[in-house]
């Protein structure tokens, strides 16, 4: 958290790049090797800023990345398709 020191930045304000929120399903991210593969794939083209609770394949695991990034739903899924173990990953952009 950033303290208000000069009138320009309010406490709690995010300083830096904007972030995009995503969820991923279809892969059991409670398995360390699979979680590592998914997040390594994401990190090839974006900085991951937050990862939520890792969940099983049928549940949504939330994460966020810095923008701008090249990732779209189709590109994220294509990147994961390169690795058989995580090819079932399905990504959803979250808009608040």
> Domains of the chain by range and CATH?
19-94 (3.30.70)
Q: Does a cis peptide bond (omega within 30 degrees of 0) precede residue 68?
A: yes
Report the pLDDT value the prediction gives residue 8, as an integer from 0 to 100: 63
Q: Which residues of the chain have pLDDT under 70?
A: 1-15
What local confidence, expressed as pLDDT, does residue 1 receive?
46
- Whether the pTM exceeds 0.75: the reply is yes
State how far the Cα of 35 lies from the Cα of 56, in Å rounded to an integer. 10
> What order do you get walking across the sheet with 61-66 strand by strand?
48-51, 61-66, 19-25, 90-94
């Amino acid at each position: 958290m950033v303290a208000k020191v000069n009138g320009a930045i309010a406490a709690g304000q995010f300083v830096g790049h904007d972030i995009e929120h995503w969820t991923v399903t279809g892969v059991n991210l409670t398995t360390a090797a699979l979680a590592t593969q998914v997040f390594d794939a994401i990190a090839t083209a974006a900085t991951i800023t937050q990862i939520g609770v890792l969940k099983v394949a049928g549940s949504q695991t939330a994460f966020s990345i810095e923008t701008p990034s090249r990732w779209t739903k189709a590109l994220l899924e294509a990147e994961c398709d390169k690795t058989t173990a995580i090819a079932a990953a399905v990504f959803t952009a979250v808009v608040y």
